[in-house]
Amino acid sequence: MKDFSSEADARIIIDDLLKQAGWDPSDKSQVMTEVPIHIGTFEQKDPPLPYGETPSVETADGDEIPTGRADYVLLDQRGRSLALIEAKRSAIQPYAAKQQALPYAKKIGAPFIFLSNGELIYFWDYGNDDAHMVNSFFSRRDLERLVEMRAIRKALATVEIPEHYLRQGETRIVRPYQCEAMKALDQTVELGKRRFLMELPTGTGKTDLVSLYLKRLIKAGRAERILFLVDRDQLAKQALEALQDILTEHGSYWLRPGMARQEQQITVCLLQTMIGRYTEFTSGYFDAVIADECHRSIYGAWQTALTHFDALHIGLTATPAAFIERNTFQFYQCRDGQPDFAFPILQAFKDGFLVPYKFATGITVVLAEGAEVAGESYDPAEFERKWTNEDTNKKMMAEFDRLAWQTYKALAPGQKIGPGKTIVFAITKHHAARLASYLNELHPECQGCYAEVITSDVSNADDLIRKFKREEYPQVAVSVGMLDTGFDCREVFHLVMCRRVRSPILYQQMRGRGTRTAPHIQKEKFVIYDFFGNHDYFNDSDTDIFTGTGSGHASDGERKLTRPPGDLVELGLQDEWLHAVTYVEVGPEGERVDKRDYVTNWEKTIRTATTDDAILQKVRNGEELTANEEKALADRLNNPRYFFNEDNLRRAYRQPGGSLIDFIRHALGSFKIKSREEELTENFQAWLVTKSVTPQQAQYLSLLKNRGIAKGKIELEDLFNPPLSILNAAGLGVELFGEKGLRAIIDDMNASVFPKAS
């Protein structure tokens, strides 16, 4: 960490940071420096001047009295003071300069204060909140927007919660728990708490609820610009549909990797995209940030896309509290490891807001009791070969199909076409192809349309998903990972588990694909066909529902314990196969291609194709693409010859956050894939921003971070061994944090920065 020893050095950095936020420090209509301010007999209790009024800094005879100075004053477009910046040298903790800056800001009528030493930046809306650390200075528009919203702000209690709303062409009733959640959010916002964690089971309308709440925030003058973060394409589409249905008067769009940023009110974006683009936005650009399935985003590099924004953060999750990471609760400032609002799944079943389930009985269990694979990083293709073959695959599909046709009318009397919408969860792409083929063989009258494989390698996956949701056929969707989480189809009432699941989070997410109500087909119950005995592993039954919190039954009186929650984060991208497996499965048949060969072929193909491809040439030249251009490029690359797509490329490069545009730029030599060290350093910076630490503490933690990068984790013993012992790391750590505090900060750093090792 560079030591900027003087205030002048810090100002060089501050000037650069202001430029990054859109300010021109040399333009006196934007930024004034060394502004003299006469304090006189001013006291801290004196009220600030109204915004825009000019203070008197002269004596009675007109002479200026420069008894004080503001390092920087940021001006609005009309030349009025917006914010004051107090600059300090790096050795000084900027927060300590609060009381020095406050009388200056009040005297000139600037509503905001920034405190900075060139490395740390604090933002202080002193009329409403305490100073807190931010990643960047705010732009002029950010600050003007805050002033404008303050002028129209009103109490949330004055904004009526609607009884009904329109969604997908139908009128929906706002449910009691949705009203309660909005009232709980109101209280949080009014009390000044900036982060809120909401736990609602899959199928209870989290996206609708948060869209309705965003409408309230906008009406109350509490938010204008909103970011909605998700981690899957399907979730982005569903969020955009809900936002455009419910917030019809407010512009929204999906920010994709190669697209130009649009100045619309609501931005929907994948976490994977925002990780690479968050520096395009100032910390004050958004007023509210929604993180869907947030237990995944507060994890290593993913949290960077959240901590950058100084906003009201609302986290949504379907994962029960027992399995949410500790640092998720810390980020959302939750006490005692509990969300700010939770609606238990058992209550949702009891109140009829979710459809109950039962397990198909008498079916063949492919994986016999006790037949475990050593460890968790098993090779899925080897697992498929060991535990399934043509005979068992055919038997599973025949048993499911027979039972489904027998029961579908009883499950949903209004369902006209048999056997009803079904999701089959397969082990691998090859496995999915075999299962779909066997189902289609059972129904030749459907001419191959009875069951469809939906994976990332299917060129028309989006069209197939739309057909599955809205048309009679396919009746069955067979997938690997793509439909496990974040997939919303109310008409599903058969779930077929043809793979092993050992994550309680993933198990509940998969089960949740069937819980949504569908009154139009009179859906009364759904059935889980569990050919791998997963529900026995979790002691789940229709009479004793597994909730991940220790409930459930077991024949021997003991619940089988899964791995500790800290190891159970499943993004579908950053899973146990990303680093452990040496091949990529490509194509509908799941052909295995060595990751190195896949990358070599990709890079050679892109370099060759760029000569004649106009869109690739735009990417090479750093030009932004339209949504149509990006889609056309993705479709062209995901062809039956190569199957180049984001999912396969992420696995091949072992980069869970990479986008298609990133991988193209890397192949063309204009973008460097982050090294493991760079990833961990970015994780560390994102984590550090959430901590209130002094420069000395930050410098010390950087030393520990370097040791963690070298070893993969930090252990207390490391402080007593070279090279850290040479620097007296143990003694210095105790001096800076205290003995208990040092242990706690090391545990926290391991959990947040080096999660694979914790």
The structure tokens listed for 698 are 């930050």
CB neighbours of residue 466 within 10 Å:
12
Shortest CA distance to 200 belongs to which of 347, 408, 304, 72? 347
Report pLDDT for 556: 38
CA 508, 510, 515 angle in degrees (round to 5)? 80
**Residue in the block written with tokens 């597994």:** 546
Percent of the residues in the chain that have a pLDDT greater than 90, as a whole number: 38
Domain(s) labelled CATH 3.40.50.300 in the chain stretch across: 156-350, 357-567
CA distance 373 to 322: 26
Q: What DSSP character marks residue 301?
A: G
Q: What DSSP character marks residue 723?
A: T
CA distance 660 to 635: 11
Report pLDDT for 337: 73
The structure tokens listed for 292 are 């869907």
CA distance 72 to 30: 10
CA distance 171 to 619: 44
CA 58, 62, 66 angle in degrees (round to 5)? 35
- Report whether 119 contacts 13 (CB < 8 A): yes
CA distance 479 to 433: 9
The structure tokens listed for 79 are 């030349």
Report pLDDT for 254: 94
Q: Which residues touch 306 (CB under 8 Å, ≥6 apart)? A: 229, 289, 291, 297, 298, 313, 331, 686
Q: What type of residue is 752? A: S
Q: Domain 7-151 carries which CATH code? A: 3.90.1570.30
Domain(s) labelled CATH 3.90.1570.30 in the chain stretch across: 7-151
The structure tokens listed for 560 are 């089988």
DSSP code string of 199-250: E--TTS-HHHHHHHHHHHHHHTTS-SSEEEEESSHHHHHHHHHHHHHH-TTS
Query: Any idea which fold 357-567 has?
Result: Rossmann fold (3.40.50)
Which residues of the chain fall below pLDDT 50? 1-4, 40-48, 54-66, 368-377, 550-576, 757-758
Shortest CA distance to 94 belongs to which of 70, 68, 69, 123? 123
- Report whether 11 contacts 128 (CB < 8 A): no
What sign for the dihedral angle of Cα 600, 604, 610, 612? negative
- Report whether 719 contacts 725 (CB < 8 A): yes
* H helix count then E strand count, the chain: 27, 23
- Report whether 720 contacts 687 (CB < 8 A): no
- Report whether 388 contacts 532 (CB < 8 A): no
CATH superfamily of 156-350: P-loop containing nucleotide triphosphate hydrolases (3.40.50.300)
Q: What DSSP character marks residue 309?
A: -
CA distance 430 to 587: 8
CA distance 572 to 230: 13
Strands 526-530 and 357-359: parallel
Report pLDDT for 306: 82
CA distance 306 to 690: 10
Half-sphere exposure of 686 (CA within 13 A, CB side): 27
pTM exceeds cut of 0.85: no
ω into 419 cis (within 30 of 0): yes
CA distance 334 to 194: 11
Q: Which residues touch 607 (CB under 8 Å, ≥6 apart)? A: 667, 668
Report pLDDT for 299: 54
356-362-367-372 Cα dihedral, nearest 10 degrees: 70
What string of H, E and C letters represents the secondary structure of 612-623?
CCHHHHHHHCCC
Q: What type of residue is 165? A: Y
Report pLDDT for 614: 92
CA distance 643 to 648: 8
